[in-house]
Structure 1
Amino acid sequence: MKKILFLLPVIIAFAIGSVSCNSDDTDEPMLIVKFRFDPNQARLNNLGAPVPIASGNAAQTPAFNTISSHYLEFAQTAYTQLGEGTVLYHAPETTQGGANAIDFSQSKIVSEGEVFLKIPLRSVTAGTYRYVRCSLGYQNFGISVRSNGADYDGTLASFVGFNTYIGTHSIGNNFFTVDGNRAQGYWAFALDDVPYQTSGQAPAGATTVPNPLAATSAIPPGSCVVTGQFLNDLQITGNETDDVVVTLSLSVNHSFEWHEINADGKFEPAIGENVVDMGLRGLIPSFEQ
């Protein structure tokens, strides 16, 4: 089932994705999903346990601008396998680049607090949900870099989905033409006030994807399905009269990590310091109803 989840035909992805395009001119209760970026949330490893920065590396807490999710699911228990909960969203995919991949041109990209998903509650299977599983696809955030002793502000576009087909993408007035698939860990960077841009690829398997359910409900290697537990179980009865608003709080606590050559805590790509991890460091979902 895990393998099938990320190889769904494009037509199914479009069908599910289209659910989020409902008109707002309705009085029926809706499920609304938003994101929050928390620099103070615990910094977790792949098993959902707190972890320090790896020896020989350094990290920054980036200033997040936007994010996109590829897949969203509510899970009932710790034994609910990925894909067997209530799937709420699955973004469009394509084989234009060869292997199946997220279609970046159709990804929904939002900022903090902006509505990412809005669907009728009647389309959500009634039940009690303890976990959220959210596969992230794209991140855009500000970081600081050092070159020749001077510090500069820049913006990094980070593609952390299992595979992404990218035609072109941009950072401000800087354009990057890819016209192909890029595996998890592809990134592009541009300085904010200086005409400089570059791109690269983090090592395979290096992107942190916290999953505290690893022992009972694993995720496919190379995916970015971050798992988080509600403080109190979310109950959907099917008789709701008001909206249910779910906020996915993502830990960005030192989430941008690189291998140091000059051990000064400054990211210096010009001397060969390479990005090793851009994964979100945890998920805490909450709800209002």
Structure 2
Amino acid sequence: MRVVRTIADLRALLRPLRDEGKRIGFVPTMGFLHDGHGALIRQSAARCDATVVSIFVNPNQFGPGEDLASYPRDLERDQNLCLETGTTVLFLPEVAEIYPTGFQTHVEPGRLAEPLCGQFRPGHFRGVATVVAKLFNIVQPDVAFFGQKDFQQTVVIRRMVRDLNLPVDVVVVPTIRETDGVALSSRNTYLDEDARKRAQGLSHGLLAAKAAFDAGERQAAKLVEIARRSLADVDSIQYLELVDAQALEPLAGAVDRTAALCAAVFVGGTRLIDNVVLAPSAVETGLNVSLSPQRV
């Protein structure tokens, strides 16, 4: 595994691979890596000839009062995980490398950035879209891998790729969960023993709603209520919404298209997000195409 810190060095390293027709995979991260990131890297290593992983805590996606300064970091552990999971190149840019003096160009993601997390984190997806667009231009990958846990982010990035004609295939890998059901997240490190136990209500509620959906329940209000029953132990619910999986518009009545049940909650001072994708069968929707949520 090679470690590089500048755009020039990264491009110099990747140029001969690209000239040889090698397929390049890319996993952008903010570090403090866990098995969820490991799953993305392994997918890339299995599908591509070379895998680039970036670690960059992007200041432009943090709002005032959010945890930029305290965001967990452990570079030694990150490097070990990258090495173990098949990373070819680890890219570790400084802020000035990504946002040089005078930087002023941003990607505006539009309506998809407004609901769900966008209601409560203004400017967040503008920061995400901008840094991902820059990283795509820097790395020039054939395939990029993202986790389903950040569902709205994947929808925003997919739309950006289409709208800007970026030659990148975006693959979304299902959420990796710990044995108690909690979705793996770098922010889980903020949870003490009590908070961790109470955080299980988030995943339990969403997974209960998915089980009901898989058993035949199709009424949006009932599915949301099933999820809500397990959230009594969290300190507050920021949102719990069932939305169209592509447009992120709220769904009511019978669920007749691929949907996502998304939630953000606070447990102690920690904000956690999670989701489940609910995909009706092709028979129900009258479609003869795959509705798999894994690749978008």
TM-score w.r.t. the length of structure 2 is 0.24
Of structures 1 and 2, the one with the larger relative CO (CA 8 A, separation 6+) is 1
TM-score w.r.t. the length of structure 1 is 0.25
Which has the larger share of strand? 1
Which has the larger share of helix? 2
